[in-house]
Each structure stands twice: as C-alpha cells, then as structure tokens.
Amino acid sequence: MKIAIIGFGKMGRAIEIAANSAHHTVVAKIDPKAPEATASEISAANLNGAEVAIDFTHPEVVIANLQKLTALKIPTVVGTTGWYEKLPEVEQLARANQVGILYAGNFSVGVQAFYKIVENAAHLLSGQGFDVAIHETHHTGKADAPSGTAKEIAAKILANFPAKKAVMLDNAEQPIPADKLQISASRVGKVVGVHEIIFDGPSETIQLIHSGKNRDGYAAGAVAAAAWLLAKKSAGVFTAIDWLGF
C-alpha cells in the first residue's frame, strides 16, 4: 500500500515503522508542527499518490480532515477519538463521496479481544451481587480523559450489566450511586495504556487488566486495518468488529 499518515506524533511515527515492517510505503506524512512531516496540510498534491490514509490527530480537526480526504476519494482509518458524537456527519461524508472509513478507539487485537472478555464477564456477573468500575492509566501527554478505550469498555458493560444505567466520571467528591458506572483516570509518566475493570462481590473480587507494553501493537493493527479497508473497496463506515470479525 501507499499510505499517508495524518498526524505525525508518537503514534504516527510508530505507524511508519509498522508500515515499513509490513513492506508498505509511507508516501506522505502530514502534520502542521512535526519537523519530519512532508507537508503541513491535506491536499491532492501533498498526499503524493497515497491509496489510503491513517489519521491519528486530534478530535478538533478529524472532521475537517475527513472532509478533505473523502472529497479526494481516499479511504481512511481513524484512530483519533473524542469525535464520535459527529458520527452521523462522518457517515454522510462516506455515502456522499462513496469512500470507506474505518474507525476504532484502539487498533490493538488484544484490546479488541479484551472488549469481548469484558462483555462476557459483565453478562455472566450481572445480577450476581457484583458491583463494577473502570480505571485507566496513560502517559501525561494524552490529550483526552477518559480514554476512548475506556469509553468503549463502558459501553460494553452498560449493554450487559443492567444495574448500571450511566457513566460517572471519577467521583466528583461524592458517593457513587449504585446505578452509575464509575470511570476514573490517571495520567503519569510514559505509561502506554492500562485498563482495569473491577468486579467486586460480597465475598470475592475479579480484576481484568489489559496493559499495553508499547505502541507496536496499536500501530500494526492500524496498518492491518488500512489494508483490509483498501482491499474491501466498499463505501461506508466500518469498525474494528468489521475488520476483525469478532
């Protein structure tokens, strides 16, 4: 594949390494600030013949990026989170321009499997006297809290644990209502990403933990998703479930 990387920060650099390892070619690195970028903005000329784009930028710019990329008929994988309330607009862009978009809060195959494990655990433990909460830890440079991965985990729990009706972020210096699913977050050092789900019952506790060792798995997954999207040659909006078949 000929790949354009949109956003050349830590993940962008990891994606370049993963793409090269998989014998693909990075033909464009677009970022308004990174010294290594080949261009500062998206345009047909700056994409340099790219067949597919991978976006790891910022929620404030991802819609504008998709408007430009879909107009140019470039299938795009989006790892940026924090924009999902605008999903209907993105679906319209995909339909109007007849191009494919694949998005996920996390492209790690392990995380996608972890989602299914949590989903099954929530279903099994619901109604058995357990409470549940989520805690996530990332590096101090992460822009959003809670993470997109934590939000996705919360959605899986809410769908399978009827006692929890809504998410509550941290504790707002008050007790946690029984029907609220707490998500707490820590930002420390250079932690790549740790997500912990705690199921606490009257006489036992179950803890499920996914810990990312580095960005390699996330980057390799994004490149693999881009290959799947390009080969599919279909318009529309897709998720990691479509890509992996979980």
| Active-site annotation, residues | 138, 142
DSSP state of 194: E
Report the C-alpha gap between 7 and 131 in whole angstroms. Answer: 39
Long-range contacts of 86-93 (CB under 8 A, 24+ apart): 87/237, 89/63, 90/63, 90/66, 90/237, 91/236, 91/237, 93/66, 93/67
- What's the one-letter identity of residue 5? I
Which one, of 135, 129, 114, 121, lies nearest residue 206 by Cα?
A: 121
Report the C-alpha gap between 127 and 139 in whole angstroms. Answer: 35
DSSP state of 86: G
Report the C-alpha gap between 142 and 137 in whole angstroms. Answer: 10
Which one, of 128, 127, 76, lies nearest residue 97 by Cα?
A: 76
Report the C-alpha gap between 133 and 47 in whole angstroms. Answer: 43
Report the C-alpha gap between 142 and 140 in whole angstroms. Answer: 6
